[in-house]
Amino acid sequence: MKVGDASSTSKVYRSALSPAALAVLRGLSRHFNEAGWVYLNEFSLPNKRRADLAAINSDGELVIVEVKSCLADFTSDQKWQEYQGYCDRFYFAVDEDFPIDRIPETCGLLIADGFSASVIRLAETEKMHASRRKALTLLFAQTAARRLARLD
């Protein structure tokens, strides 16, 4: 099992997600894995927010993805704007039934199901400051190591 695998997500977190959100998360996991990114589900940020998925590629680019299972989930949760300063690109991931016209144009968009995900709209790139990138990369590595240690 990979550290970022959807199956490694905590049981408490998984139980709080709807079946639709779990399917989207599984498709995202496969998508990022196939693209060569490493990722973590439920990644805690320094501002006390928790990203549904954070991924880093070999160039050190950090992406945060917020999973939305339905329109009510999207409209009731506006904290996603607080994630944007902690990534180079920000995406929403939804299933094919979501009304995608409600997703802000400045955000990237992925459509996912339990098997894969497709990029519908690339996110605008806003490169993080080098010191924040270093701190987040270190936090990402430490979080992954702690999760891996729990598997032993």
Nearest to 24 by CA among 101, 95, 92: 95
Mean pLDDT of the chain: 89
> Per-residue confidence at 151, pLDDT binned at 50, 70, 90?
low
Tokens of 78: 């506006």
pTM recorded for the entire structure: 0.86
Task: Give the C-alpha separation, 82 to 99, whole Å.
Answer: 23
pLDDT exceeding 90 applies to what percent of the chain? 78
